[in-house]
Structure 1
Amino acid sequence: MVSLEEELELSMTYENFEDVPARKAASRRSVEDFNVPAAAPGMKMYRLVVVSFGLLCILQAALNISLRLTLFSQPNSLTEERDEMKRIYLDLEAGCNNLTEERDDLKRTLENYDLEAGCNNLTEERDDLKRTLENYDLEAGCNNLTEERDDLKRTLENYVSQQNSLTEERDEMKRINLDLEAGRNLLTEENHGLKRTLEEYAHYLQQGWVYFSGSFYRISSTMKPWQDSRRDCQQRGADLMIINSQEEQDFSRQYKNIIWIGLMDRDTEGEWTWVDGTQLTTSFWHSGEPNNYDKRNEDCVNINHHDHTNSWNDAPCENEYFWICEKKM
């Protein structure tokens, strides 16, 4: 659509275009009326101006026609552009209004702000800071800071020392705890061993064994050769008695029967050996013994002379006597 202003402009253009020949005729008559010579220079210039003006009018008419055709061919596009321009204008107007309001607010804020009082406050604060700085003893402050630093260092060193001491105490407590635990385990094992020992004691006592100095002893009720006597002891988890001290010798003499003990020289004549493989070191031979009497190979030992401290006697191993078994605990 074309607006009213555009239609008026186009109509004026057409009117100007139609009046061009009339104006030319009027100009020609006016020249003739004044009887101006055709060859005058001013007349030429005038004609040139008139012709130029006519050409300009023709060009303007052509441009108006072209513009009118363009406007008629694209009415919607121009309308959209006009609406877009209106929107842009409205946005700009709204922006200007906002800026105007912000400016007014800033003006009112600036009018309400007491610039002189603010400057005075800043000046007073500056003077206070100057006086504080002038009154501050920099050297003393540095010394105080140095002392505080040294105190902190000493505190830290003490803390580290205490921590190391506590660590050592902790480790010592751990070692003590481990020792206590090991001791407790050992006591537990000993307790179990004692229980087993007591059970064994009860068992052997019930079987007729006699306890003395860390061993159980049992006197046989029958008589057998030395080898059979030892076999009987071994079947009972024991062996023939080994005497290594005066106390054991005195203990053996309380039994009045002739009894085999675990001493013999069957392997090598004259080399007396106990049943556990150890060599004889402490002996209690009766006077004149061993004598291998009548060369009968008296290779085994018994306790015979009970009334004497030294009561050992060598005898043939095939002889049958009572025997005494020993079970070490």
Structure 2
Amino acid sequence: MENPAPTKPAKPTKPKKPTKPAAPAEAPAEAPAKAEQPATITDASGFQSMVAFITSPTGERFVVLEIFILTAMTLLIFLLYQKEMKKRVEIEMAMNMIRNIVVGIDSNYKDKDDTPALNCFKPLDFQILAAAQNLSEEMRYLAKRNDQLQKEIDTLTRNLKDGWVIFSNAYYLFSAELRSWMDSQKKCEREGAKLISIETVEEQFFINHQVKGRRKFFWIGLFKDKNENWKWLSGRLPEDEYWVYYSLHDELNHDCTAMTFDCIDTCWIAVECHLQMPYICKKVPNDAWL
């Protein structure tokens, strides 16, 4: 048998030198640029859509509305500013007016006003504030009186529409319904008035004229008390008497007085209180009128 031929040992391989890392490819750097391109297209598309919306009728209305709101807000801010400035000017004018009044009332305040003070308020300023407070209280009082007067005017207007007649500082109701003397008094009280008590000669002539024009008998507030004395419902005794010549004012049971139209100047007539006839109410306003 033949011996196998010996094999040559393999040559050792030299280790490869480490290769330098390759420079990063420029392709990734271009990637952002490529990524931005769609965004640019989208922005342009959004801008075009906005322009298209604004130029549309709906967009125009929207723009006009926005301009109107902005203008209104600007105007409102300006008016509020003007109002605030006007208020400050009015306060300053009021303070100056009060200052002049106070100085005019007492000349000693002139020297006090010119002298410097250590505190933020001068003595005169405290006097001005006190005067302003007094004026404010007086204005509130006048406003309250004005409200009372307005209520009286409203009452007067309503009464005039209901048939009341004004004379001097009072007004009168010549009723159309028939009642007894006592019921007439109660009816007048429900109206906030009283069965008439005549106070003056002028009022007597006025009532005479009104009764003659209506050609009716009317109850008045003159009655006979327990002592057989004639007295007005107001508590006064009649200073002058205007009995008609045929009146039975001294007779028994003739305890109430009416005004007759068949007379000249003396028109009182005493009759029984249960008779049914019209009546005269008198309402005197309070001092809110005066």
So what's the TM-score if we normalise by structure 2? 0.50
How high is the TM-score relative to the length of structure 1? Answer: 0.45
Higher helix share: 1
Which protein, 1 or 2, shows the higher relative CO under an 8 Å CA cutoff with sep ≥ 6?
Answer: 2
Larger gyration radius, structure 1 or structure 2? 1
